[in-house]
Amino acid sequence: MTETLSREQLNTIMEEADLLKSQAEVDAALDSLAVQITERLSETMPVVYSIMNGGLVIAGQLLTRLNFPLEQGYMHATRYRGETSAQSDLQWQAPPSVPMEGRTVLIIDDIFDEGYTLEAVIEACKAQGAAEVLTAVLVNKQHDRKAPGVSVDFVGLEVEDRYVFGYGMDYRGYWRNAPGIYAVKGL
């Protein structure tokens, strides 16, 4: 584990960060995601899962833009666990909270980075009998280290290959609440 960060250090992280996407840009991306998801899923009575913790903010802001019947659930899978690079294993801290046998499932997460989290989540949903599994993320990080064969159905925004925080994404556990998408100085 890394050392504890002070309030001053965390404020400096924010002050020195680069704003990659403003709140207005995120709002527009969420509107666009909602239109695409509605077109594809409005007649399927899906179960919509947020992947905790990162998916919390984006799922909350997306759900109220979806005007059709759906159930909502959560699951918690984590690879990074407060670090800025992935740990070797994915840990399940909470399994899916709503049965998905025979259902259309939409997974909502904050970021598609290397893609191993979504790969494992999709696999888990299929193993639990989901009829189809679709995925939506606010941010796709652009690089060539993606898990082979994993793709996302609905992407809000593209960001460069830097460590980002805000809108649910954390910097060492903090700043998930930042109202924009920021890149940490030097990362």
Ligand X SMILES: O=P(O)(O)OC[C@H]1O[C@H](OP(=O)(O)OP(=O)(O)O)[C@H](O)[C@@H]1O
For ligand X, the binding residues (CB under 6 A) are: 51, 53-54, 78-80, 86, 109-117, 170
Task: For residue 164, count CB atoms less than 10 angstroms from its CB and return exposed for 0-12, middle for 13-18, buried for 19 or more.
Answer: buried
Q: Is 164 in the site for ligand HPA (CB under 6 A)?
A: yes
Name the minimum Å distance from CB 43 to ligand X: 28
Taking CB under 6 A as the rule, does residue 109 contact ligand HPA? no
> Given the complex with ligand X, which of 111 and 157 has the nearer CB atom?
111
Strand order in the sheet with 154-159: 91-94, 71-78, 47-52, 104-112, 132-141, 154-159
Q: What is the DSSP letter of 5?
A: P
Candidate list 80, 154, 175, 182; residue touching ligand HPA; CB under 6 A = 80
Minimum CB distance to ligand X smaller for 115 or for 166:
115
Q: How far is the CB of 55 from ligand X (least distance, A)?
A: 6
Number of residues that bind ligand HPA (CB under 6 A): 8
- By residue count, the chain amounts to 187
* Using rule CB under 6 A, residue 154 touches ligand HPA: no
Residue nearest ligand X, CB atom distance: 54
Query: How are strands ordered across the β-sheet holding 164-165?
Result: 18-21, 181-183, 164-165
Minimum distance, C-beta of residue 99 to ligand X, in the bound complex (Å): 22
163 binds ligand HPA (CB under 6 A): yes
CA-wise closest residue to 86 among 124, 113, 125: 113
CA atoms within a 13 Å half-sphere pointing along the CA-CB vector of 184: 18
- Tell me the CA distances in angstroms from 148 to 45, 119, 145, one per residue in order: 30, 9, 9
What residues make contact with ligand HPA under the rule CB under 6 A? Answer: 80, 111, 113, 163-165, 169-170
